[in-house]
Amino acid sequence: MAIIDGLRADAPVRRIRELPGPRGLPLLGNALQIERERLHQTVERWAREYGEMYRFRITSREFVVVSNPETVAAVLRDRPDGFQRGARLNAAARSLGFNGLFTVNGEEWRRHRPMVLRGLDPAHIKAFHPTLVKVTERFERRWRQAAEAGRAIDLQADLMRYTVDVTAGLAFGCDINTVESDEDVIQKHLDKLLPALARRVLSPLPRWVTRRAERGLDEHLAAMRSAVDGFIADARQRLADTPQLREHPHNLIEAMVAERDRPGSRLTDLDLSGNMMTMLLAGEDTTANTLAWMIWLLHRHPEAAQRAAEEVRRVLGAQSHPTHEQLGELDFVEACAHETMRLKPVAPLLIQEAVRDTVVSGLAVPAGTPVMCLMRPGAVDAAHFPDPEAFRPERWLAGNELGHAASSAKRVAMPFGAGPRTCPGRYLALSEMKMVAAMLLAAFDIADVATADGTEVQERLAFTMSPVGLQLRLRARA
């Protein structure tokens, strides 16, 4: 039995049946106590009631839930050999056609990882910066038109246009320009896929009960596959026209097509399309949701917004948008991003499945057991962050309360995960967040960010955690 958290080999261990947890019903367990879109809030509430390690059951599936940051980090670092994505997630992703790096396991993950990392490394992000600026300029024009017309902006939908365009440019080398289009050609299909994945993975109900909610899904899947197949065909044509791209690809899709077409390659066409679908889904949703939460928090904390705006204007001077090097100088803007991800993590829970019998913080965990890692409780604990519920970006700056321990704080908050399966898109995500924030704070004043009816914004879990119904109103600066 493997021990992943430094416990002595002869130390006594507990069994899962000895853990506390909410009372359930025969056969159903705790299924009726869970609403899928509020699952994260339910399991966080149970953590406050039952402690840092507890159990609950949905029909025959018994979950171990951990929220201590050290335990969470130990589980995440023990991937892919000790823990892996759950079989249910893997099967659901394959059924929807995006079995890419995010969902595959074991040797399949090792086969995909080098190429995906190569397309998302800092050098590629730097080379991509001119395209990032171009997409941001379009986005500014879109928001300026809304400001001049006095029109409310559907914040999340607009941010998803931006992130889709950025992801398509970096990963596919394609300028799809949804920012300036009135037709949500790709986005209207993407918007259906993550909720469908969440239903298939998290729903306590059997699949035949939830099929009604997926009416029309096949048409969206077919349209997405057609679009992705077109991206792959275009990349294959570019490689045929310019053979040197096989050794020096410009983007992720060229690297993967070149590897797929190499004699003896272990990649398949399904691997290609699965990773492309994954890039579009992950690149759209996570960054857009974080930006939406960040803009909402800045509006609620005008002193932080003012400090961030002053930093942007000081760094940019007379320029409209930051260079790649200037992005690195936006320390307070980046601090705002980290503080947003601490308070509003778009991945508030990660479900991992034990590959082998193991011991986690004194608990015997048999192979196949799903372990749900809660990412927010440690990050809003006063033991790790003073005044933990407050939005205080300055805590991430050197010389403040975290000071040089900011790296340790990131190991508590872990917005991009931990261990070998840390999110490969973290460099791109932070670049996008800082670019949008710099554009917004340099060109506009935030007049309002609120729901249409003025009620408190709600968190909704549809695989990632998003704000519901935020509308943005802007005033253009001269």
Other C-beta atoms closer than 10 Å to the C-beta of 39 total 19
Domain encompassing residue 203: 2-476
Q: Contact 80/65 with Cβ under 8 angstroms?
A: no
Instruction: Mark the ranges of the chain whose per-residue pLDDT is less than 50.
Output: 6-8, 403-404
Number of separate domains in the chain: 1
| H/E segment holding residue 327 | helix 324-327
Q: Letter for the amino acid at 73?
A: A
Phi and psi at residue 243, in whole multiples of 5°?
A: -55, -30
Extract the tokens encoding 333. Answer: 């803007």
Pick the closest to residue 319 from 175, 159, 435 (CA basis): 435
Per DSSP, what are the bridge partners of residue 462? 464
For position 403, what pLDDT does the model report?
46
pLDDT digits (tens, 9 = 90+) for 150-183: 999 999 999 999 999 999 898 888 888 999 986 6
Tell me the longest C-alpha to C-alpha distance in the chain: 70
Give the span between the Cα atoms of 286 and 292, in whole angstroms: 10
For position 404, what pLDDT does the model report?
42
List for the chain the helix, strand, coil content (%; round to 5): 55, 15, 30
Question: Where are the extended beta strands (E) located within 328-421?
Answer: 349-354, 358-360, 363-365, 370-374
Residue 62: is it exposed, middle or buried by C-beta count within 10 angstroms (0-12/13-18/19+)?
A: middle
Per DSSP, what are the bridge partners of residue 372? 65, 351
For position 342, what pLDDT does the model report?
97
CATH of the domain at 89: 1.10.630.10
Pick the closest to residue 349 from 468, 201, 463 (CA basis): 463
For position 205, what pLDDT does the model report?
60
For position 185, what pLDDT does the model report?
63
| H/E segment holding residue 162 | helix 155-167
For position 436, what pLDDT does the model report?
98
Pick the closest to residue 100 from 27, 171, 26, 196 (CA basis): 171
Asked if residue 80 has a cis previous peptide bond (ω within 30° of 0), the answer is yes
